[in-house]
Amino acid sequence: MLKLSVIRFPVVFSVVLAFTLIATWANAHGVDENTRAFLDGHQGVQFIPFVYIGAKHMLTGYDHLLFLFGVLFFLYRLRDVFILVSLFTIGHSITLLFGVLANIGVNAYLIDAVIGFSVFYKAFDNLGGLEKLFNWRPNVKLVVFLFGLIHGFGLATKLQDFHLPSEGLLTNLLAFNIGVEIGQISALFFIFILINAWRHSASFMRFSTVANTLLMSAGITLTAYQLLGYWVSL
């Protein structure tokens, strides 16, 4: 009964929170006005500004960070961290560059809903949900890579909001991607230190179920947030 209550409360809370935030969803994907004003006034190659914008987006992108938190949660070896983070990086770099250069239009709300689902999925996987329900678990490396592709499209939609000129576009995209990696590495450094320090506490395994249940709840909230935002924006 206790375990059921622990799982049920965050889920109910997330649904209520999603509905209370509905008034803000219509503007949830607006581009920062200071960033827009700067880019509107500067044409051509802007390497350093795009590095900064990429790093800023990753460090403030709570959906990306929550997914990575779930990925790192039960990783104990640096080798495993390196492999999975590299696969995620390769995935989002491919779709970031391809999405913008090929001008592939993806609705920002819908792609961010899938990113929210990726947070839910990883927490659910950490709890052994797929193995309990289906006695099956997909390859973790493949899943992280595929979600990396989805996250990359999410990054691409943000850049497409800038309506970037073709002059210097590839260089600016590469700079943005470098910034994303700088932000990602910085965030992962602190996330890994935090989790590693917690692992030495007796409470880690005792509260790992609660932590991943809350992470799963956050994924539900993010998904509902974006889906209802899409509905409001119609």
Quick check: 144 and 71 in contact, CB under 8 A? yes
Single pTM value for the model: 0.83
φ/ψ of residue 228, rounded to 5: -75, -30
160-191 per-position pLDDT tens digit = 877 788 888 899 999 999 999 999 999 998 88
Chain segment 41-91, per-residue pLDDT in tens? 667 788 988 898 889 888 888 889 999 999 999 998 889 999 999 999 999
pLDDT tens digits, one per residue of 92-111: 999 999 999 998 888 999 99
Give CA–CA dist 205/160, Å, rounded. 42
> How far from each other are the two terminal CA atoms of the chain, in whole angstroms?
41
Provide the angle, in degrees to the nearest 10, between the axes of the packed helices 203-233 and 62-72.
Answer: 150
What percentage of the chain exceeds 90 in pLDDT?
Answer: 50
**Any residues with CB less than 8 A from the CB of 55 and at least 6 apart, and which?**
179, 180, 182, 183, 186
Amino acid at 191: I
Model pLDDT, residue 224: 94
Residue 219 has pLDDT above 50, yes or no: yes
Domain ranges of the chain: 63-233
AA letter at 82 = F
